[in-house]
Amino acid sequence: MRRKIISTMFFVSLLTLAATSIPTCTAAKPKVVLHAKGALQADRQLQAIMNNITWVNWVLVMGELTASDLADAKMLISVRVDAALSYTASELEAIDQWFSTGGKAIWVAGDSDYPSDNGRVLSGNALFEYLGSVLRFESCETVDPETNAGADYRVYGVPDNCAPELSFLVQGVNYALFHGPGLIVGYYDGEYHKLEAERPSNVYLIMTSSPTGTTAEFTEPVAQVHEVGETGEFPLLVMEINYANKNIVIASADGPFDHYTGMYMPELYGIQRYSIDYPQQGAILFKNIVDFVLSFADTMITQYNQITTMQGQISTLQGQITSLQGQVSTLQGEVDNLESQVTAAQGNVTMWQGIAIALLVVGLVVGVAVKSLMKK
């Protein structure tokens, strides 16, 4: 039911917020922290993000992330530019404290287990676990020999398997680049799970590989749940929504920027390849996600919770109605039984009335006969 009603709720949100979906010049800009951990400067894609999406207050952090960096932020996009760097204990604590207040979104970029990139798998999973998310990066790489930008490691993710509830996120998107991506799986009930096969009701696929997506292996440990050489539509971009505290976790199997070539406007590094030979719409996908998180998510989740509450109340009332119907049925049975008894009693009364009348007639006849004999 959750997956059926959420789409309706979002479109209601769109109608409600249509006039205010993008903040006006007088409104405070929503704050989004871009954590490019280990970067020396913003790359072309990161600069383009900050220059093109101007209604957002972008805060760039290239060193250690602190609580003050996250103060008043609505969203954190975390990319480990230096794959060898892990989150420090103080960073994990700062992120968790910020996230635990609710109404926040975090986008964590993963990577493949290629030797120079594998650190992003480990550090990303450490953050997911710290936050209590079910999402994980698997220790492997996704390649695609057919749906790509000229090489199997330049994987083009497709929106074909996007959850219907979130289909608006991929509007205008046919392909998005995931350059040497990993693969996103789930970890819950003490086990790893293939999210393309099963997932919790609050976990949504957004982009996957095409059916010719293939798993590859570079660095131990081996992949937790997929086999090397396995083909399938593997999750490359996944969203987890916590409806209780209105938090959102986004996992991408590669970075929206950096990571050699990120999702957002890869044509900045090769216009012939990424705009002409193999056109893609990574910038649209990125903007759609940011717009959703900053402008619509809160209202949609609130409406979802309201509808869920009302559905619970309706279910309770339906149970009460069913119980009352049972009581009415029982009472009707008792009434029918009493009517049968009354009918039977009425039959008995009618019988005794007939006998009494007959006896009266007999008595009258006998009386007349006796009187006649006495006269003689």
Q: pLDDT 10s per residue in the chain (376 long)? A: 445 554 554 444 444 444 344 444 457 999 999 999 999 999 999 999 999 999 999 999 999 999 999 999 999 999 999 999 999 999 999 999 999 999 999 999 999 999 999 999 999 999 999 999 999 999 999 999 999 999 999 999 999 999 999 999 999 999 999 999 999 999 999 999 999 999 999 999 999 999 999 999 988 889 999 999 999 999 999 999 999 999 999 999 999 999 999 999 999 999 999 999 999 999 999 999 999 999 999 999 998 888 877 766 776 777 677 777 877 778 777 777 777 776 766 666 566 566 556 555 555 555 555 465 555 5
- Whether a cis peptide bond, with omega within 30° of 0, leads into 256 is no
For 344-370, b where at least 16 C-beta lie within 10 A, e where not — what string?
eeeeeeeeeeeeeeeeeeeeeeeeeee
Q: Is 232 left (phi over 0), alpha (psi -120 to 50) or beta?
A: left
Phi first, then psi: give them for residue 373, nearest 5 degrees.
-70, -35
Please give the pLDDT value at position 147. 99
- CA–CA separation, 224 and 352 (whole Å): 90
Query: Would you tell me how many other CB atoms lie within 10 Å of the CB of residue 281?
Result: 19
Nearest-Å Rg of the Cα atoms of the chain is 36
List Cβ neighbours of 315 (8 Å cut-off, separation of 6 or more): none
Handedness of CA 282, 288, 290, 291 (dihedral sign): positive
Please give the pLDDT value at position 241. 98
Alpha helices in the chain (DSSP H): 2-17, 44-52, 67-70, 89-100, 118-131, 271, 282-291, 297-375
DSSP strand pairing (105-109 vs 73-80): parallel
Residue closest to 85 by CA, chosen among 44, 36, 141: 36
